[in-house]
Amino acid sequence: MQPKPLVTVGMPVFNGERHIRQAIESVLMQTRGDFELLISDNASTDGTTAICRDYATKDERIRLVEQDKNRGAYWNFKFVADQANGQFLVWLAHDDMLENRFIEQSVPRLIDRPQAVIVCGDIRVIDDFGEQIEIEELITIRDSIDWRRRCGEFYKYPISNVLFSIYGMMRTEICRGVLEKITPRNRMAQIELPILARFAAKGQISSLPAVLRSYRRHDASLYNTETRSLSTESPIKKLLIGHLHIAKLRAEQISVLLCSSMSPGFKLGVLVDVCKFYSFRLSVKMSKGARRAALTSGN
């Protein structure tokens, strides 16, 4: 019997034949090898399944599950979390890549910090061809910053680039508990927000000052696909859908904060920080509106 791996890299995929080889290779090239790669193929209709089968036959660390039908992206992300054998979990999209020291650098941070629930590195954003677009430095959640200040970052909308921390390494049991509290939804846009709010209610999230992952930004991404699906709707309906979506996200974030087990004083401090954030945004918006009105009246 094989010993349980320390880390599970969960790869939910549907029709990812173009980039999945690079994603798999980035896992197999890790400098620390006590991991499993769990691939859940959501009934792909292209060459994804054949590619994954080929890799699985050559490396016993790869566990391939072929789903009998496509049950949606959120279901598939939850499936790899539920089926993970590792104490720690990282989600890897089929079109992203891990730097070869991702596991080596992330594991000690979670082992040495019992209060930590997610640790992540900075993100290299690449295009469809693998060329670097930019580096996202998650400087507002460095370990050197007091946790209360970091915590507030996960209860704001719009959230900063700390949303990329969802692609870090997390404690598997915490992740399972978080996902049980998330209502399944058809649209995945900004699903990171309610997930990260619940993680922040369970423990600390921090970033390492090192690029540990490549995130691919391209037209065929899930976010862009969902956005295009609304293009046939009327402008009014799109506006209503957008505002309702934002209102739900904000309400869910604040509800998670208020219902958390954090101390009353800690929650109050975070809530004050969040209210200051919204007040500042509102004042900026009103100032811009006043300037536009003044220019219009002057004409």
What pLDDT digit, counting tens, does each position of 68-105 carry?
999 999 999 999 999 999 999 999 999 999 999 999 99
- Structural domain includes residue 296: no
CA distance 120 to 212: 8
Residue 83: the pLDDT is 98
- Structural domain includes residue 298: no
Confidence class for position 175, pLDDT limits 50, 70, 90 = very high
Instruction: Supply φ then ψ for residue 94, to 5 degrees.
Output: -65, -15
Longest distance between any two alpha carbons in the chain, whole Å: 80
* pTM greater than the 0.75 cutoff: yes
- Structural domain includes residue 166: yes
From 11-25, 68-82, 109-123, 172-186, the region with the lowest mean pLDDT: 172-186
Mean pLDDT of 226-233: 67
Using the Cα atoms of residue 251, residue 253, residue 258 and residue 260 in order, give the sign of their dihedral.
positive
- Structural domain includes residue 36: yes
Using the Cα atoms of residue 258, residue 178, residue 200 and residue 156 in order, give the sign of their dihedral.
negative
pLDDT in tens, 120-142: 999 999 999 999 999 999 999 99
Name the residue range of residue 281's domain.
7-290
- Structural domain includes residue 297: no
Q: What CATH number does the domain containing 172 carry?
A: 3.90.550.10
Look at residues 150, 246, 253 and name the one whose alpha carbon lies nearest to residue 194.
253
Q: Is 104 exposed, middle or buried (0-12, 13-18, 19+ CB in 10 A)?
A: middle
- Structural domain includes residue 20: yes
Residue 6 backbone zone (phi > 0: left; psi -120 to 50: alpha; other: beta): alpha
Radius of gyration of the chain measured on its C-alpha atoms:
20
Count of structural domains within the chain: 1
**298 or 29, which is more confident:** 29
- Structural domain includes residue 14: yes
Buried b (16+ CB within 10 A) or exposed e, 243-276: eeeeeebbebbbebbeebebeeeebebbeebbee
Q: What percent of the chain has pLDDT over 90?
A: 78
